[in-house]
């Protein structure tokens, strides 16, 4: 039997990169997925890929920072699959500037995506989780549920040019530790994974024409200077950047029964890089 057989997992930002790898990993272990992407095409594609592989999936696409998103996301799990077992708050992006050049809306966007959106999702999940636990308790059943929030080495150690991103990723650690204490009585394990340098479109080497992503009409530059990637790789004890599947493996560890007595923790998935 697969370790997550029958579990219902929600993964935000799962149309591409690390989020896609997380969704596919959880599905491969038997979970039914609620997937999400800002854009419908990649979100729908991942849902179709999961279904084609023999599991179930529903795509709830759109901006995770929208006021109505959290309720839509949670309702898809409870209405479509009858429960919630795993929540992975993964959606995010970087919008970098030195602090003197960082606008209020730019800073706010980083807090909204990396802290406020996960907060809203967990808040929306609170009532149905309590109801599920109450029902299970009356039946003499005790089930563990999992929340995995995504942080970054930048949130633990800071990173020049990332005042907003680092602040958001630091704040999600505080939310993680608080929810571990608040939801422990409901048998919910709440942990975080802080990523180092993982190969995604956000960390790709900048070519002659720098790539951008469109967020609410803002064309945000993504990518890293090749020489910076090379310098970082030299500081990673394993000698290379990680790949999305390796990042997904770290999240999966916190979703398994083996982590049932681990909560309020942050692990770094960075090949030995710690700051």
**Which residues are known catalytic residues?**
165
- Structure token digits, residue 141: 């059943």
3-state secondary structure string across 173-204: HHHHHHHHHHHHHHCEEEEEEEECCECCCCCC
| Token output for 137 | 């308790």
Instruction: Give the integer Cα–Cα distance in Å for 159 and 153.
Output: 8
CA distances from 256 to 29, 133, 189, 215, 249 (A): 10, 19, 11, 34, 11
Beta-bridge mates of residue 213? 220
Residue 60, SS3 per DSSP: coil
Q: Report the interhelical angle of 163-183 vs 117-138 (nearest 10°).
A: 10
- CA neighbor of 121 nearest in space, from 56, 169, 171, 77: 77
CA dist., res. 30 & res. 81, Å (int): 13
Q: Rounded CA gap, 24 and 88, in Å?
A: 13
Place of tokens 């204490």: 181
């Amino acid at each position: 039997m697969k370790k997550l057989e029958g579990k219902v997992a929600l993964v935000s930002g799962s149309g591409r990169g690390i989020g896609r790898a997380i969704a596919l990993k959880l599905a491969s272990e038997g979970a039914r997925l609620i997937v999400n992407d800002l854009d419908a095409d990649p979100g729908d594609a991942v849902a179709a890929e999961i279904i084609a592989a023999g599991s179930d999936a529903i795509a709830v696409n759109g901006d995770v920072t929208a006021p109505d998103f959290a309720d839509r996301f949670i309702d898809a799990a409870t209405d479509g699959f009858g429960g919630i077992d795993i929540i992975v708050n993964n959606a995010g992006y970087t919008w970098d500037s030195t602090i003197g050049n960082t606008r209020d809306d730019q800073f706010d966007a980083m807090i909204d995506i990396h802290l406020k959106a996960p907060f809203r999702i967990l808040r929306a999940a609170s009532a149905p989780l309590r109801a599920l636990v109450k029902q299970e308790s009356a039946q003499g059943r005790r089930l563990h549920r999992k929340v995995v929030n995504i942080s970054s080495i930048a949130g633990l150690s800071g990173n020049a040019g990332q005042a907003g991103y680092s602040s958001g990723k630091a704040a999600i650690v505080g939310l993680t530790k608080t929810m571990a204490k608040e939801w422990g009585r409901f048998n919910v394990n709440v942990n975080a994974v802080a990523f180092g340098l993982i190969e995604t479109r956000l960390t790709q080497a900048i070519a002659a024409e720098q790539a951008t992503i469109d967020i609410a009409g803002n064309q945000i530059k993504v990518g890293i200077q090749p020489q910076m990637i090379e310098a970082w790789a030299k500081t990673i004890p394993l000698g290379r950047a990680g790949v999305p599947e390796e990042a997904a493996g770290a999240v999966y560890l916190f979703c398994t029964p083996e982590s049932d007595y681990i909560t309020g923790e942050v692990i770094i998935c960075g090949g030995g890089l710690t700051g």
